[in-house]
Structure 1
């Protein structure tokens, strides 16, 4: 896929991308070192969310179990509506009233899961998600300042496996994945999308951002409103576009900044055009 070569012009030291078809999880294209391990930053959150959803299906806990500040639940933490601050275990709003993007909330989520499961969260995530999907180079660092929110490391090859799972689930019931990725949790809430400003509304599912009509945005101008995924401060992203029938993962070794806000949408639009043309 010619569009993938655009990463050669990104102002980064190392970058890798992979594109996965939705129907059968086939790898449509890849560029860059597929086995190179990158810091994921907030692309860790979809992995954490998936582990939490496995825990729900296994009966470890339930979405509406109390977790976090008074009145908050597992569902609130997944949807960034617990009221917790960005990087502090401090409540700034009543649960369900604002979309406050929160690293702290995801660490509370992981701690809640670990207590319910009786094993460390990073081990649960490995056994529930990484190992079954063959993600041999993926891990969550428990020594990271916010492990479940931003402490993941992975490769393009491993995240391509996760992207395939999101499109054709094997570890979760498809209805669970649909709820997490296509249904807005706590609709109508406004909030700040980090790096892209205030969004009205700032729609999220359970652990996954839903694109809808947000502008500006880190995906492309031609990305469908149904697109979901996440990007990370370390220069990483993962999106799934159900209309295009494909997913893309991109990893880089330079922190997110103006370069990414300019390069990522152009890259995505070029890739989507190539997919539509069937090349």
Structure 2
């Protein structure tokens, strides 16, 4: 026990950077106030304001802007059914034909992870294949009646941009969003160095988990380019959408709660901020703007862990403070999990060693099987805790690796104890 306490103390007291690499930017009006890169990327190179970073679901605000450029041109109407622009869009639910473009962007379409074959969409090779993978899906609610965060909304929106614009989505985004704003180092699906996962306090470089990423999470950008984006979104500098469309993007929709189009309203530090975060398996990001003051902030890291500090780091910047590189919470959480894993190993070894002396009734083995049951249903209960988002085993060995390892060790220890006791009981019975 003394050794376990010493290990835990070491994990939570040794200063460890929040992330191997971070880039952040602060803007005010039409100017970049501060932009910096700290740490290193997966190749060992120093992170700079021009280092490419995956921004995951922040991509949704870019996709919404692309759709609204088409709205401003009169080529798309927000309240027209998506199927009118995408005849290929069909589902096993007739209500899908009534989903409007606005409902996609407000995430009130009725689409949800729980009623769509998400693994099938992730195997798609392009947006056309992605839409085809929705054929057997159904809606979780009538369109326009309930808000549910679902990546499918924005990948459908990306396909809409692709079809109406007449160019591949990545090219349409470059010409409609990135190039007009001077975001020359931004793209959809661009290359980045490997990111990192924290495993019991140690940062381990890992390749990003494969999967389809289009309008919902495919943007790769830099801190310098994010500065140009934030300036535009506060209504300063070059504009790609009309003032009216910018207000629509930033205004929560009917039945959407605090969610607009790729932006959500959050009240923090006495401000009404517009915020969107993004989480992949080895990259994390968050962006925010204050429409009242014309300020903007973004933090991007090349890492992902059980505890995501980027929002707290962003709030420190909102307060006018410096970037805060340390993350004690991650160290504490992973230190506790490491200690639990070591205790489970010890109890498992003890249970196996003492199995020959065990003479209890069979029902007394049930407590040892509880960790086995918890681990077997791991993806299912995590899905429930994350509002029924689809969770797979491969995902759980990335940013959730410390929890997954701890639960797996506990399950293995419990199972080993049960098997050893049953074997000893059988041996005793045979001897008689």
TM-score (normalised: structure 1): 0.79
Please give the per-residue CA displacement for 1:128-156, whole angstroms capped at 9, x wherever unaligned. Answer: 11011111111112995031101111100
Q: Post-superposition shift, 1:10?
A: 4.6
Query: Residues 178 and 9 from structure 1, CA distance in 2 versus in 1: closer, same or farther, beyond 3 angstroms?
Result: farther
**Residues of 2 paired with 1:236 and 1:14: CA distance?**
12
Is there any run of 5+ residues in structure 1 with no aligned partner, and where?
A: 1-7, 190-201, 213-220
Residue 57 (structure 2) aligned to one of 35, 42, 50 = 42
Q: Post-superposition shift, 1:113?
A: 2.1
Corresponding residue number in structure 2 for 1:74: 101
The answer to whether the Cα contact below 8 Å between 1:46 and 1:229 also exists between their aligned partners in 2 is no
| Large movers: runs of 4+ above 6 Å | none
**Residues of 2 paired with 1:185 and 1:257: CA distance?**
31
Q: How does 1:1-279 map to 2 (within 5 A)?
A: 10-22=17-29, 25-32=30-37, 33-67=48-82, 69-86=96-113, 88=118, 89=134, 90=137, 91-141=139-189, 145-168=212-235, 170-181=239-250, 183-187=251-255, 189=256, 202-212=257-267, 221-222=268-269, 224-225=271-272, 227-233=273-279, 234-255=283-304, 257-260=306-309, 264-265=311-312, 267-274=313-320
**Other structure's SS at 1:81 match:** coil
Please give the per-residue CA displacement for 1:45-95, whole angstroms capped at 9, x wherever unaligned. Answer: 111111111111112211112116221111000000111123744321111
Q: Post-superposition shift, 1:9?
A: 6.7
Which structure is larger by alpha-carbon Rg, 1 or 2?
A: 2
**Residues of 2 paired with 1:121 and 1:223: CA distance?**
38
The answer to whether the Cα contact below 8 Å between 2:264 and 2:274 also exists between their aligned partners in 1 is yes
Task: Identify the structure with the greater helix proportion.
Answer: 2
The answer to whether the Cα contact below 8 Å between 2:275 and 2:287 also exists between their aligned partners in 1 is yes
Q: Post-superposition shift, 1:160?
A: 0.7
Q: Post-superposition shift, 1:177?
A: 0.5
**Residues of 1 paired with 2:274 and 2:106: CA distance?**
13
**Residues of 1 paired with 2:211 and 2:80: CA distance?**
26
The answer to whether the Cα contact below 8 Å between 2:26 and 2:317 also exists between their aligned partners in 1 is no
Query: Residues 268 and 41 from structure 1, CA distance in 2 versus in 1: closer, same or farther, beyond 3 angstroms?
Result: closer
TM-score (normalised: structure 2): 0.52
Query: Residues 203 and 108 from structure 1, CA distance in 2 versus in 1: closer, same or farther, beyond 3 angstroms?
Result: same
Work out the number of aligned pairs and report it.
240
Please give the per-residue CA displacement for 1:4-47, whole angstroms capped at 9, x wherever unaligned. Answer: xxxx975211101010102xx10111221100001111011111
